[in-house]
Chains A and B, each alone.
Chain A
């Protein structure tokens, strides 16, 4: 299998960053403001808030993983470009 080019790596990194931005911009993050004590209160409301916080943490972790992967790919692309320039 042919090694990926630096351009290919940067394209993949870009796609991962776009996905990270999509997740970061999810309307799920606006739900806490809509589901506070002014909207409902009781065990069901607390359960919803509990699940919502878990979901937010999962989305945040996913977003950070995607950004980290993108940075790694961009670093590899930079290394390839550097090797090419030295050769």
Chain B
């Protein structure tokens, strides 16, 4: 049993028109043998249609107990809801004269194209917040969306019936409902279920719009124009969910940001309702760009200077950097590389002209990733500090500047690990593409190797900077080690794996490329002088003590060790040059024994294990790496 919706006045008019066919039948006859059959067929059809007056009377005069029983709309049992998506095309919540009856006829169902149009019309008149109040209704509407989205003709009919204004209205409603507590969408409370419904409905709406746009008969600029012009946050909420060609996505994103970036804080519509820690328009835009590099390539090229500056100023530096990492993959073809070079050039130029935009994360990105990969773009001078804004130079110029710059800009130094991890995550996510992963890590190794050249030269020439270096650049390493410690102790995921892989690369690059050839200035087969060995040992002790200290700090930071545990031995610069490896090893072993013995605060078994692990880590990460260096004594 289904339902029948009708306008009583129009149905009465139809009944009168149908009844006129009764009189018409008498005028259709022919005595001519050539016309007799045609007249008879026409008369029969008129009679059949005329007989519908009986059924129409049953509807118009519907009473309880008849096949066409009247139905009330609204809440309560045995009533049809005007917001029930299963009744799309039958109920008309926006039309008070529209009546509803049960319908005993079930033989005919609307085709999907008609249904798409009906859904568009229904949505153009129905406040969707009435639907998402009820999980079953929301699920039914999402299911209907999905049916329509799967059929291009139906989706096109939907888009045409809904129209730009309707799409703008419904998207803004859904996005507005989602801003109320978007973070709850991933939890399991009853309230969160509603937000999950809204998110799924917005997804389904985006799928339907995407299908409509894919037909080529619906103009995306027109259909989405009203939405983009009314609320940028709602627009990006929908557009970021679309699956359309990159060119179209890039253009839509450009239009959205062109509008959003010119609005004042007070005039940002829905964005003012977004919770402080939830993604804003700019965050959703950058996330879209990170996910769709081709769209980003187009948008970042077409974007006006003002919009571009606004993006850098309002966006999160780390997120922008991650987005850009995707755009400068070394595996890109030459055309895209040129495009990427232009984009990085624009970034450098903009940062050069607007020092206020130089967040540590962005500077770190430029220096560590963009600089080495695009050496032709390096050496944008940072006049405020006197040091290159782009610190890493593949030609090996100004290594002391690099070192001092990183020592003085700890945040930028730390951002190095962010980019290394970002690349590691990207590579890990694409682990099925082995060739691409190798290229990614080769790229990473080159970067770290280039950084290492600068570091080691300054280490050798300016031993007094060692402590600063360790605290800043090796602090970067400590973040990597931290990831490993965290991965071992707490998490098991791509971050730890990527960090481990990046660390291995760093050690490989330092060991084979930097230390062997540059620090010690020797070829693998060459004999080394006593002085060279002394320098090597000093470096080795420095590294061992740093690794031990870094592990200690991380273990304390993560709560694996109490802060009352004394730090491991950490010889100063001069002390380190006099200390040999065996002596440091002995001092470290003594330190371990002291901690494992009963101290002022007894250690738990887990804490004792952590101290054991620290010793093992020093051996594995330091000695193992040094052993790989082919140093031959004379």
Contacts and interface: CB of A to CB of B under 8 A. Distances in A.
B4 A41 contact: yes
Contacts of A52: 49
A84 to B, nearest CB: 23
Main secondary structure of the interface of A (DSSP, over half): helix
B6 A39 contact: yes
B6 A43 contact: no
Interface string A33-59: 011011111111111101110110011
A12 B31 CA distance: 10
Contacts of A23: 28, 38-39, 42
A62 interface: yes
B428 to A, nearest CB: 54
B89 A41 contact: yes
Contacts of B37: 65
Task: Please classify how large the interface on chain A is, using the bins under 10, 10 to 19, 20 to 34, 35 or more.
Answer: 35 or more
Contact of B4 (A31, A42, A62): A42
Interface stretch (B100-108, B190-198, B414-422, B456-464): B100-108
Contacts of A47: 105, 107-108
A7 interface: no
A43 B103 contact: yes
Contacts of B109: 43, 46
Contact of A31 (B14, B27, B104): B14
Contacts of B59: 40, 44
Nearest to B17: A34
A17 to B, nearest CB: 10
A31 B10 CA distance: 12
A26 interface: yes
A36 to B, nearest CB: 9
A66 B34 CA distance: 7
A48 B244 CA distance: 40
B108 A46 contact: yes
A61 B42 CA distance: 9
Interface string B102-130: 01111111100000001000000000000
B45 A58 contact: yes
A63 B17 CA distance: 21
B106 A43 contact: yes
B30 A39 contact: no
Which of A37, A44, A65 has the most CB atoms of chain B within a 10 A radius of its CB?
A44
Nearest to B16: A34
B581 interface: no
Contacts, number: 136
Nearest to B111: A46
B99 to A, nearest CB: 9
A80 interface: no
A16 interface: yes
A77 interface: no
Nearest to B50: A28
B514 interface: no
A40 B105 CA distance: 14
Contact of B5 (A41, A50, A51, A61): A41
Contacts of A73: 34
Given A41-B90, A46-B108, A69-B35, A15 B2 contact: no
B490 interface: no
B542 to A, nearest CB: 82
A43 B38 contact: no
Contacts of A69: 34-35
A27 B59 CA distance: 22
A31 B38 contact: no
A83 to B, nearest CB: 22
Given A42-B2, A42-B4, A44-B55, A15 B20 contact: no
A12 B89 CA distance: 49
A15 B30 contact: yes
B266 interface: no
Interface in B32-81: 32, 34-35, 37-39, 41-42, 44-46, 48-49, 52, 55, 59, 68
Contacts of B42: 23, 26, 58-59, 62-63
B4 A16 contact: no
Given A16-B34, A26-B24, A46-B109, A39 B7 contact: yes
A2 interface: no
A59 B28 CA distance: 11
A42 B21 contact: no
Nearest to A59: B42
Given A28-B21, A31-B18, A58-B45, A40 B11 contact: yes
B145 interface: no
Contacts of B34: 12, 16, 66, 69, 73
A52 B367 CA distance: 74
Contacts of B5: 40-42
A26 B35 contact: no
B55 A62 contact: no
Contacts of A37: 89, 118
Contacts of A58: 41-42, 44-45
A37 to B, nearest CB: 7
B30 A16 contact: yes
Given A19-B38, A42-B3, A44-B4, A55 B10 contact: no
B13 interface: yes
Contacts of A26: 21, 24, 28, 42, 46
B107 A22 contact: no
Contacts of B11: 39-40
In the A-B complex, the 6 residue pairs with the smallest Cβ-Cβ separation, listed nearest first, are A42-B4, A40-B6, A46-B108, A62-B38, A55-B45, A43-B105
20 contacts: A23-B38, A28-B24, A30-B17, A37-B89, A37-B118, A39-B6, A39-B11, A40-B10, A41-B89, A41-B90, A41-B118, A42-B6, A42-B103, A43-B109, A44-B59, A44-B103, A55-B48, A61-B41, A63-B38, A66-B38
Given A34-B10, A41-B4, A48-B55, 18 more contacts: A15-B35, A19-B38, A23-B39, A26-B28, A27-B24, A31-B17, A34-B14, A34-B17, A39-B10, A40-B10, A41-B5, A43-B105, A44-B68, A58-B45, A59-B46, A61-B38, A63-B38, A63-B42
